[in-house]
Structures are given as C-alpha cells and as structure tokens.
C-alpha cells in the first residue's frame, strides 16, 4: 500500500467522526433555538444522533399550538413526526403502549349492564354524570346582586342605574371577549378545589390519549391559558387521531377508532369521578361524543350512544 493510499484512508476515517460531530452540533443548536422542525428532520436522517430527555421536552414545548384552519394540518404533521422520532429512541416509551385492537378496546360486548358497571367502578352511574355548577353559581350571583343592591341604596345611588347594570355588563363582556376567564378566576379563588378538579379532569384526557397513541398538541388549565393561545374556550386537552382522521376522509370508520376516541373523550369524566366520587365537568365532552356518533353514516341511535359512553 502506498503512502498516498494510507493518507486517504486516514482522512476518511477521521472525516466520519467529524461529520457526525457536525450533525450532532447542528441538532443541539436547533433544539436550543426552538427549531423543532429542523431538529426532527435531523433525527429522522441520522440514527446515531444523541438526544436527552431534556432535549425531547424542549422539542415538544417549542411546537406552538396553532389550530387555525390554514395551519392545523401542518402542526399535526410536525407533532406526529416528533412523537414518532422520540418514541423510536425509546424516550416516549409509554406513547401508544395500550394495544389498539378490537379485543382490547374496551369490552367484547357493547351491551353494558349498568349494575355490573357500578360494581366494577364502585360508584353509582350518577357519579359519571357531569353535574356542572350552574345552580350554585346562580344562587351566588343572585346573592351578590342583592348585596350590591343594598350597598348602592345605602350610599344613595340608584342600584338599577349604577352597580347592577355595570356588573351585568362586566359579566357579559367577560363571557363574550374572554370566554369567562375573569369569572373562572373568581371561582378558583373562592373554591381552590375547583382548580384541582380541572387538573384531574384534563390529566385523564392527557393520560389516555398518550397511552392510546393519540398525539397531544397541548392542554389548557384555564380560560386565560386558552385565550393566550388564541383559542376561545375553557380548560381542555387538544389531541388528534391520525387513523380516525384518515378513516373519516375515506368515509369508512372502524369500531376500533370509535372506541379509542370514546375512551379519550370520556377519560376526563372518569378521572373526576374516581377521584372525587362525582364528575362536575365534562358536559361538553358528552356533547362532542354524541355529535360524533350521530354524525356517522348511518347515525347511531340513543341507546347505542349510551352503551358506547359507558363501555
């Protein structure tokens, strides 16, 4: 072997580690700068790139939640690729850990006996029915208006021309512009347990979506959080199911996909009921499930919808 050939082999051997180091450096920089899209591209292109748990969290956290019509699809693709890349490196090992098969999701029979279900969960069915808080809050609102009315009279003002209309305007404005964020903040202040129930409810959605392999775009624990992200509404978990989306477009939805979607939607109610023995939130989840099932072709009847929610 000539000296020139030896030099060429040495240069090639040293060039490979140098290139790998360059790729690793580029990846680390992308993660630090919040460039998740480029970081994912590098992960998919180079299997030997090293990634820490902290970097994985940074990648997920850097993806902005954008559910606008023009950007939602692109965002979902990025989230899906990020989850897939991290799972491939055994970082998101729990993602999709629950088998999604007809035998596993969730019962072989869809005719659910209420008595047997109550025995299984050690709770009455009423615990799984969101109670909401409209009645107590109506009473509190009326009481507050009464106090305002009395104070205004004591100060010599006409309540119907001062504090009462101003308060009503404030409530309507809060609901219309901030999705009730101010009212919700007052609720959290007066009833600290409310905040914990919201956390428990959204944790149920998050956990089941994660275990069943539905990528999670983000979550909100208050109306303020949702408003900051440009989304009108209260607390919530934003997830999606690629299989279900594809099936809906093809107008051929499988029972497995329906079961998975049902489980994630009902998980918040179940989490609240199991922790506090009564679900308060979740009426919107029930409505979403009903709208989804009756919108299928052919539409589901009422009894079938009830059985699906219970199982």
DSSP output for 51-84: --HHHHHHHHHTS-----TTTHHHHHHHHHHHHH
Q: Is the peptide bond before 298 cis (omega within 30 degrees of 0)?
A: yes
Higher-scoring residue by pLDDT: 230, 220: 220
How far apart (Å, rounded) are the C-alpha atoms in residues 40 and 215?
A: 15
Judged against a pLDDT cut of 70, whether residue 134 lies above it is answered with no
Domain ranges of the chain: 3-88, 114-131+192-310, 134-190
65: nearest Cα among 55, 80, 56, 76: 76
Judged against a pLDDT cut of 50, whether residue 135 lies above it is answered with no
Which structure tokens are listed for 118? 């109550």
Lowest-pLDDT choice from 27-41, 105-119, 229-243, 295-309: 105-119
**Enclosing H/E stretch for 240:** none
How far apart (Å, rounded) are the C-alpha atoms in residues 170 and 233?
A: 18
Higher-scoring residue by pLDDT: 188, 215: 215
Which structure tokens are listed for 87? 């799972």
Q: How far is CA 205 from the centre of its chain?
A: 6
* 151-200 residue pLDDT tens: 877 877 777 776 767 777 766 675 656 556 666 666 666 667 888 888 99
Torsion of CA 110, 115, 116, 121, to 10 degrees: 110
- Give the residues across from 218 on adjacent strands: 238
pLDDT at 224: 75
Q: 166: phi > 0 → left, psi -120 to 50 → alpha, else beta; which?
A: alpha
Most confident residue range from 4-13, 109-118, 172-181 = 109-118
**Res. 279 pLDDT band, cuts 50 70 90:** confident
How far apart (Å, rounded) are the C-alpha atoms in residues 296 and 112?
A: 21
pLDDT at 62: 93
**Res. 105 pLDDT band, cuts 50 70 90:** low
Supply the DSSP symbol for 208.
H
Give the pLDDT mean for 128-154: 67
Lowest-pLDDT choice from 36-40, 99-103, 135-139: 135-139
φ/ψ of residue 300, rounded to 5: -80, 145
- Give the residues across from 220 on adjacent strands: 236
Higher-scoring residue by pLDDT: 22, 162: 22
Cα-Cα-Cα-Cα dihedral sign, residues 32, 35, 39, 42: negative
**Res. 241 pLDDT band, cuts 50 70 90:** very high
Judged against a pLDDT cut of 80, whether residue 43 lies above it is answered with yes
């Amino acid at each position: 072997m000539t000296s020139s050939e030896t030099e060429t082999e040495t240069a090639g051997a040293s060039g490979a580690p140098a290139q790998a180091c360059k790729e690793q450096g580029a990846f680390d920089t992308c993660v630090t700068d919040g460039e998740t899209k480029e970081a994912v591209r590098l992960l998919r292109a180079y299997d030997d790139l090293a990634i820490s748990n902290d970097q994985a969290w940074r990648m997920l956290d850097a993806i902005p939640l954008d559910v606008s019509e023009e950007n939602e699809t692109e965002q979902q693709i990025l989230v899906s690729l990020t989850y897939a890349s991290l799972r491939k490196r055994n970082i998101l090992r729990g993602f999709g850990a629950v088998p999604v098969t007809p035998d596993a999701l969730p019962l072989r029979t869809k005719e659910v006996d209420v008595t047997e279900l109550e025995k299984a969960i050690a709770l009455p069915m009423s615990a799984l029915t969101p109670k909401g808080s409209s009645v107590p809050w109506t009473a509190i609102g009326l009481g507050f208006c009464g106090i305002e009315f009395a104070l205004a009279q004591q100060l010599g003002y006409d309540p119907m021309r001062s504090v009462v209309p101003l308060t009503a305007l404030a409530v309507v404005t809060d609901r219309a512009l901030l999705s009730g964020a101010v009212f919700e903040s007052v609720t959290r202040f007066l009833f600290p347990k409310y905040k914990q129930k919201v956390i428990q409810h959204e944790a149920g959605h998050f956990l089941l979506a994660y275990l069943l392999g539905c990528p999670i775009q983000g979550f909100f624990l208050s109306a303020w959080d949702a408003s900051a992200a440009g989304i009108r509404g209260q607390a919530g978990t934003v997830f999606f199911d690629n299989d279900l989306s594809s099936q809906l477009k093809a107008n051929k939805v499988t029972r497995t996909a329906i079961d998975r979607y049902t489980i994630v939607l009902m998980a918040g109610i179940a989490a609240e009921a199991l922790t506090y023995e009564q679900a308060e939130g979740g009426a919107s989840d029930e409505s979403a499930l009903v709208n989804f099932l009756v919108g299928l072709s052919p539409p589901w009847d009422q009894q079938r919808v009830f059985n699906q929610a219970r199982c």
